[in-house]
């Protein structure tokens, strides 16, 4: 009887559930927005495209500091990252990227936005153009890293009939992807605002800058790819025929000149009295910045903040018990030329072998390109209006060195116990100390609290800026044989750096162009792509443990290990040298291997899983 009662109760309950009650199974979800709700409201569509903007791919960025230590620009002063300097080879999969999920969502956005007739037409066109810009940009990123890729321009849907063949596309030619990017830029331009004050959304200026960059990359791959015939595939998925170089260079120059001649942007020059400070401010000044074209923006107290300053602030002035991670290398620091347009490694020793004595540590770096102090925190200079404390120890009269192994450590010198090493180090193998003698300055936020874990920073990440457009124009003009135009653009960028003696047309060489990009665009995520497209990566990172080059002006100088330059004080009372400064070139003990960029690294490995799922995708060469 009890069981019967139970069953009756159970049936009643079940019937109660399936009783004709439309509301129960047919409720509007309260945790997601449906398509028909989104596509009639401009504000909601904006938040959808904001998400797509947020997924814009970057390789080296201020949110990913350690990648800047992957090559020769910097040393990674953090225990967990020393391995970067102990590995010789880069894996074939390094810098790989294959995000067709993102592309699908962009395609879905484009498809739905095209049908959204409840939006104002001009708003809809702008959203559409932005999504198409972002899609073209992903393909640009893919082609930079992987070579030609399958070009999917509509959302693909599987029919569950067991044959995915209809979804499988072969890789396009490398040139075809570049052509697509260039063509898309022309197509989306009319619908985008021509407003230089918009920095974090697509504008006409951004489209022109992207077009110039993409065309320049394609052109240099066509031209310099001829020097590495092994880095190509017979179907053109990798490698661009040399005959196409001129056309791409012309397209790059035309796009760059269209942006330059529009007059919308200008080089940042708010602080002409201090060009180094001016160059540093270019990256953190977010108020009416005339140079910046496109950024990833951040905002305090919004949850969207970045911690570049937190992880890289000088240890002695740090607002937390950390900082000092990225140490620019002497390789980079010696590349900044002297104000008379000549190059010279730093002079540490006189011809006889004795040290060269400097009154102040910053004297070593005097008379150099203003961008040096704008990019790097040098010994003896200031950050947040306080002096950094970078010095490695005392050198006594007999040549012996007195130092300590903790920040600001003390020892007995001349009978007194005094500080014998800076509060920023350099102390070899001590993380957060300036193990190369330098800290990074670019993108560091001078605002109070930027180095605190609880506050962090809202300095933006600049993806496109006007100086790069000028350099792109200069490179394209140079390659087309128009050295006068090239010199004109180069000199604009150089004048802002305090190099007031203009380069004559005859002085513009390929090495000059390579060098100018290296010093202007350091720590901005250009290095790898530049070295790849010039096919210089396997030359400069050749795997041989050579000494630091004495020819920083030469594009082909090998630079496989990061070096440092440590300042020491002289302790020698009663002699004229007492209290003066000398420098020693060192190689941090954690730098044990010479980087080797293999031919198979030019285009990243496409995973076995990808090629299994789509057998039409062929492997990249030399892997």
Partner 1 sequence: MRNSLFIIIILLAASCKKDNYAAPGTSFKGRITYQGEAVNVSHGEVFFELWESGWGKRTPINVAVAQDGSFSSLLFDGTYQLVLPKGQGPYLTLPDAASHTDTTLLQLKGDRNMDIEVLPYYMIRNAKVSANGRQVAVTCKLEKIITDARAKNVERIMLYVNRTQFVDGINNIATQSMNGGDIQDPGNIALQVNVPAVNPVQASVFVRVGVKIEGVEDMIFSPVIEQKL
Q: CA 143, CA 173: separation in Å to the nearest integer?
A: 10
Measured distance between the N- and C-terminal CA atoms of the chain, rounded to whole angstroms: 76
- Please pick, from the candidates 168, 258, 554, 593, the single residue that binds partner 1 as defined by CB under 8 A: 593
Instruction: Please report whether residue 94 would count as binding partner 1 according to CB under 8 A.
Output: no
Among 187, 539, 599, 610, binds partner 1 (CB under 8 A): 599
Residues whose CB is less than 8 angstroms from the CB of residue 143 and which lie 6 or more positions away in sequence, other chains included: 149, 174, 177, 178, 181
Express the helix, strand and coil content of the chain in percent, nearest 5 each. Answer: 40, 10, 50
- Evaluate whether 561 touches 595 at the Cβ level (below 8 Å): yes
> Taking CB under 8 A as the rule, does residue 384 contact partner 1?
no
Size, binding site for partner 1 by CB under 8 A: 20
Residue closer to partner 1 (CB basis): 481 or 615: 615
How far apart (Å, rounded) are the C-alpha atoms in residues 438 and 418? 23
Interaction between residue 156 and partner 1 (CB under 8 A): no
Alpha carbon distances (Å) from 222 to 181, 257, 397, 476: 16, 22, 59, 13
* Out of 356, 480, 505, 545, the residue judged to bind partner 1 by CB under 8 A: 545
- Rounded CA-CA distance 544/560 in Å is 7
Distance of CA 492 to the CA centre of its chain: 23
CB of 231 to partner 1, least distance (A): 9
Residue 289 or 549: which CB sits closer to partner 1? 549
Confirm or reject binding of residue 621 to partner 1 (CB under 8 A).
yes
Minimum CB distance to partner 1 smaller for 271 or for 611: 611
Whole-angstrom Cα distance, residue 212 to residue 488? Answer: 17
Which one, 385 or 612, has the nearer CB to partner 1? 612
- Helices in 335-379 by DSSP H: which ranges? 370-375
Please report whether residue 96 would count as binding partner 1 according to CB under 8 A: no
Among candidate residues 95, 231, 227, the one with its CA nearest the CA of residue 621 = 231
Residues from 69 through 88 that contact partner 1 (CB under 8 A)? 88
Options 356-364, 442-450, 473-481, 614-622: segment touching partner 1 (CB under 8 A):
614-622
Give the bridge partners for 76, in sequence order. 326
What does the alpha-carbon distance between residue 61 and residue 524 come to, in Å, rounded to a whole number?
7
User: Is the preceding peptide bond at 424 cis, omega within 30 degrees of 0?
Assistant: no
Give the nearest distance from C-beta 607 to partner 1 in angstroms.
Answer: 10
- CA-closest candidate to residue 580, choices 334, 401, 386, 355: 355
Q: Which of 354, 329, 341, 279 is nearest to 561 (CA)?
A: 329
72 vs 431 by CB, closer to partner 1 = 72
Contact call for residue 600 and partner 1 (CB under 8 A): yes
CA distance 412 to 410: 7
Residue with Cβ nearer partner 1 (50 or 544): 544
Residue 385 interacting with partner 1 (CB under 8 A): no
Q: How far is CA 110 from CA 113, 151, 276, in A?
A: 5, 15, 44
Q: Which is nearer to partner 1, 108 or 545 (CB)?
A: 545
Q: Nearer Cβ to partner 1, position 112 or 611?
A: 611
| CB closer to partner 1, 26 vs 612 | 612
Over the range 512-536, which residues count as b (16 or more CB within 10 Å of their CB) and which as e?
A: bbbbbbbbbbbbbbbbbbbbbbbbb
Question: In the window 230-269, what residues touch partner 1 (CB under 8 A)?
Answer: 230
| Binding span for partner 1 by CB under 8 A among 1-9, 502-510, 516-524, 540-548 | 540-548
**Residue 612 makes contact with partner 1 by CB under 8 A:** yes
Residue 195: CB atoms within 10 A of its CB come to 12
Least distance CB 599 / partner 1 (angstroms):
5
- Residue 254 or 618: the one with the smaller Cβ distance to partner 1 is 618
Q: Answer yes or no: are the C-beta atoms of 274 and 268 closer than 8 Å.
A: no
Cα–Cα separations (whole angstroms), residue 30 to 7, 171, 204: 35, 42, 38
- The answer to whether 474 touches 490, Cβ cutoff 8 Å, is yes
- Tell the smallest beta-carbon distance from residue 88 to partner 1 (Å): 5
The reply to whether 554 sits near partner 1 by the rule CB under 8 A is no
| Candidate residues 64, 66, 557, 596; the one interacting with partner 1 per rule CB under 8 A | 596
Taking the complex as a whole, the smallest distance from the CB of residue 543 to partner 1 amounts, in Å, to 6
Q: Is 341 in the site for partner 1 (CB under 8 A)?
A: no
Q: Which stretch binds partner 1 (CB under 8 A): 160-168, 169-177, 244-252, 543-551?
A: 543-551
Choice from 305, 543, 553, 554 touching partner 1 (CB under 8 A):
543
Q: Does residue number 544 form part of the binding site for partner 1 (CB under 8 A)? A: yes
Please report whether residue 618 would count as binding partner 1 according to CB under 8 A.
no
- Choose between 64 and 596: whose C-beta lies nearer to partner 1: 596
Q: 465 near 292, Cβ under 8 Å?
A: yes
CA 274 to chain CA centroid, nearest Å: 25
- 64 forms part of the interface with partner 1 (CB under 8 A): no
Choose between 79 and 227: whose C-beta lies nearer to partner 1: 227
Binding site for partner 1 (CB under 8 A): 88-89, 228, 230, 543-545, 593, 596, 598-600, 608-609, 611-612, 615, 621-623
């Amino acid at each position: 009887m009890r069981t019967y009662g139970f069953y009756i109760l159970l049936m009643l309950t079940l019937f109660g559930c399936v009783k004709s009650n439309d509301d129960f199974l047919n409720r509007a979800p309260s945790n997601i927005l449906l398509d028909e709700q989104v596509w009639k409201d401009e504000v909601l569509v904006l938040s959808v495209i904001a998400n797509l903007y947020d997924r814009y791919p970057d390789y080296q960025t201020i949110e990913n500091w350690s990648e800047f230590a992957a090559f020769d620009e910097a040393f990674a002063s953090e225990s967990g990252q020393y391995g970067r300097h102990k590995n010789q080879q880069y894996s074939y999969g390094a810098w790989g990227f294959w995000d067709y999920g993102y592309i699908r969502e962009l395609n879905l956005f484009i498809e739905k936005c095209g049908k959204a007739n409840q939006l104002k037409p001009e708003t809809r066109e702008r959203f559409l153009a932005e999504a198409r810009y972002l899609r073209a940009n992903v393909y640009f990123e893919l082609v930079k890293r992987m070579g030609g890729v399958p070009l999917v321009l509509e959302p693909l849907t599987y029919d569950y009939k067991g044959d995915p063949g209809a979804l499988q596309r072969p890789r396009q030619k490398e040139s075809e992807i570049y052509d697509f990017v260039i063509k898309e830029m022309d197509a989306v331009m009319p619908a985008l605002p021509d407003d230089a004050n918009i920095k974090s959304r697509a504008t006409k200026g951004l489209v022109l800058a992207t077009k110039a960059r993409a065309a320049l990359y394609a052109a240099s791959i066509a031209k310099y790819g001829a020097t590495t015939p092994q880095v190509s595939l017979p179907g053109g998925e990798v490698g661009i025929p040399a005959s196409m170089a001129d056309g791409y260079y012309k397209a790059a120059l035309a796009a760059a000149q269209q942006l330059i001649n529009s007059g919308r942007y200008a080089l940042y020059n708010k602080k002409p009295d201090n060009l180094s400070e001016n160059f540093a401010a270019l990256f953190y000044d977010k108020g009416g910045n005339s140079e910046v074209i496109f950024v990833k923006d951040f905002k305090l107290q919004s949850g969207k903040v970045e911690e570049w300053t937190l992880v890289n602030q000088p240890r002695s002035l740090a607002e937390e018990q950390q900082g000092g991670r990225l140490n620019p290398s002497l390789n980079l620091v010696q590349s900044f030329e002297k104000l008379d347009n000549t190059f010279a490694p730093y002079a540490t020793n006189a011809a006889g072998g004795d040290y060269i004595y400097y009154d102040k540590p910053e004297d070593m770096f005097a008379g150099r390109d203003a961008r040096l102090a704008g990019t790097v925190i040098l010994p003896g200079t200031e950050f947040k209006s306080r002096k950094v404390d970078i010095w490695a120890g005392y050198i006594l009269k007999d040549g012996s060195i007195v130092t300590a192994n903790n920040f600001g450590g003390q020892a007995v010198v001349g009978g007194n116990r005094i500080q014998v090493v800076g509060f920023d180090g350099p102390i070899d193998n001590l993380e957060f100390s300036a193990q190369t003698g330098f800290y990074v300055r670019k993108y560091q936020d001078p605002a109070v609290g930027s180095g605190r874990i609880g506050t962090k920073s809202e300095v933006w990440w600049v993806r496109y800026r006007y100086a790069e457009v000028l350099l792109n124009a200069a490179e394209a003009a140079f390659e087309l044989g128009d050295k006068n135009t090239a010199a004109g653009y180069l000199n604009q960028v150089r004048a802002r750096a305090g190099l007031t003696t203009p380069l004559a047309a005859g002085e513009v060489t390929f090495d000059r162009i390579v060098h100018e990009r290296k010093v202007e665009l350091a720590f901005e995520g250009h290095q790898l792509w530049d070295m790849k497209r010039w096919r210089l990566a396997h030359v400069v990172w050749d795997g041989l443990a050579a000494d630091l080059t004495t020819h920083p002006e030469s594009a082909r100088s090998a630079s496989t290990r990061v070096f440092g330059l440590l300042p020491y004080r002289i302790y020698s009372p009663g002699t004229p040298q007492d209290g003066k400064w000398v420098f020693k070139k060192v190689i941090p003990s954690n730098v044990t291997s010479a980087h080797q960029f293999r031919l198979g690294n030019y285009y990243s490995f496409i995973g076995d899983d990808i090629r299994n799922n789509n057998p039409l995708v062929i492997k990249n060469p030399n892997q």
